[in-house]
Structure 1
Amino acid sequence: MPPVEKSAKKAPASGKKPTKFRKAVNFNLSGGIMRYSRHQQYKRKALWRQKATLKPKQEVPKRPLTIVKEIGGGHNGGQRVVTLRKNKANYPTKALVTSRPTKGVFKLHKRSTRKSLIPGRVVIIVAGKHKGKRVIVLKVLQSGLLLITGPFSLNSTPLRRISQRYVIATQTRINMANVVVPDHINDAYFKREPKSTKRNRGEGEIFAPKKEVYTVSEKRKSDQATVDKSIKTALSQHKDKKLLFNYLRSYFALSSSQYPHRLKF
């Protein structure tokens, strides 16, 4: 048998080879940013040459926003102004508010304190510098913080403020009838002055900032002595005064097999 010839592929009618798909010259890089901007495309395509050949833009007459319609009936006014376009569905937001009048209202909010935290109650501090100490609650300040004292001569706890979250109330209470707490001891009393940014111009490091060490004022020392004196007088009038003095000096701690939620304070 004669050999069978294989059929050759048909060439395109134009005689050119089929071209592969080419990527567009101007494409999206990322986030809607094109490779060539609108200005660059105008120059690349030489559209400025075609500017004279373009058709002039036809001006469209402006459409009125409202129209007056005649209304029948003797008591309807005869005419009515009707809008031809609907109102916008959304409007631009207001400008950024720079001053807020409600900024200082937080100071005037009502504070709620646990019923057990009354003046004269002995509480245990569970966090902070004086944790483990037993102190006495003097009063509740406007900010909701507790004003406490050791007194300072017994356990070195001065007049200070503390949140009710960091204290455990005990059943021990002293009589506060004759205890004197000055009225000027409030939240503003504990506010410290802002640190100065003056630089030390002495010898050595010329531009080294000078460290400011906090010192207790004489007024605070006198207030502490006044409160401690009245607290000690109230403690000495208690029936278990000797036990109570040792109780305030001692620290609270948990030993083995002791759990706070099982203890009765």
Structure 2
Amino acid sequence: MAPAAKKKSNPRNYDLGNGIVRFSRSKVYHKKALYKFVGKKVAAQKKPAKPRVVEKQIGGEKNGGKRFVLVQKRRAVYPTQDKIAKRPAKQLFKNHQRYLRPSITPGTVLILLAGGHKGKRVVFLKQLSSGLLLVTGPFGINACPLRRISQRYVIGTETKIDISGVKIPETINDEYFRRQRQKRAKKEEGDIFQKKKEGYKVSDTRKADQKEVDKQVIAAIKKHADRKLLVGYLASMFGLRSSQYPHRLKF
């Protein structure tokens, strides 16, 4: 019969949240009866020291009659190099657990605080595997295309759109937004003038994906009870006037 697995007992003085524990220090002092051990001294027991050498008798003439031999002999051979220590496996960033603020859910209208489209109000679609948020304007309302942005640079509002019927293509992931950088060509004898760098051009696939997603998001906006106000809300830019403070506003 295999031995039964031991049950792990939870500590009595557990954390209640925000660094507050169940029992105070004085309560634990009395519950553990630590007052019984105050001022109590126990004499330390000294362990008998093991001898490093042992005396051995040696026979024969002119040998001295005895020798002192080490109990633990020294090594005869030493390695020329130290062994490579095994290091713990790297916790790659792509394997980290992703978190999302509870105020940000699919369909929430966000305010962008950084990037080329800062100040615009966008619709949150989903969280990618890297932890970045996938958002869209939609492009037809405020000219903000499908973009990735960190949740640190957005403000979550209470305005929400039902996008349960919106189907986002599986190809739209972190790899989808990665720029393809071409290697610099080596200069040859005939190349006197430096070639101009080609600017970024939106591919046809991204244009098609943008139209497909925007069509579904705009249809969801039209189903909203306040669709006229919502379209104007998404088209307007966010800004603060004098004597307006972000921590006092309710978004």
> TM-score, normalised to structure 1's length?
0.61
* Structure 1 segments (4+ residues) deviating >4 Å: 66-70, 92-97, 100-104, 199-203
Aligned positions of 1:1-265 closer than 5 A: 82-83=71-72, 102=89, 105-198=92-185, 206-265=192-251
Equivalenced residue count is 184
SS in 1 for 2:183: coil
SS in 2 for 1:225: helix
| Compared CA separation, residues 224 and 201, structure 1 to 2 (3 A) | farther
Q: Which runs of no fewer than 5 residues in structure 2 stay unpaired?
A: 1-51, 57-68, 76-80
Larger Rg: 1
Cα deviation, residue 104, structure 1: 7.0
| Compared CA separation, residues 101 and 67, structure 1 to 2 (3 A) | closer
Q: Counterpart amino acid of 2:72?
A: T
Cα deviation, residue 201, structure 1: 7.4
Superimposed CA distance per residue, residues 139-179 of structure 1 (whole angstroms, 9 cap, x where no aligned partner)? 01111100000001111111010000000000000001211
RMSD of Structure 2 on Structure 1 (CA): 3.2
Partners of 2:71 and 2:245 lie apart in 1 by 78
Partners of 2:223 and 2:89 lie apart in 1 by 48
Higher relative contact order (Cα pairs below 8 Å, separated by 6+ residues): 2
* Contact preservation (8 Å) 1:199, 1:209: no
Q: Identity rate of aligned residues, in percent? A: 52
Q: Which runs of no fewer than 5 residues in structure 1 stay unpaired?
A: 1-65, 71-79, 87-91
Partners of 2:82 and 2:102 lie apart in 1 by 47
Structure 2 match to 1:63? none
SS in 2 for 1:83: coil
Partners of 1:218 and 1:201 lie apart in 2 by 34
| Compared CA separation, residues 160 and 101, structure 1 to 2 (3 A) | farther
Partners of 2:188 and 2:209 lie apart in 1 by 37
Partners of 2:189 and 2:220 lie apart in 1 by 52
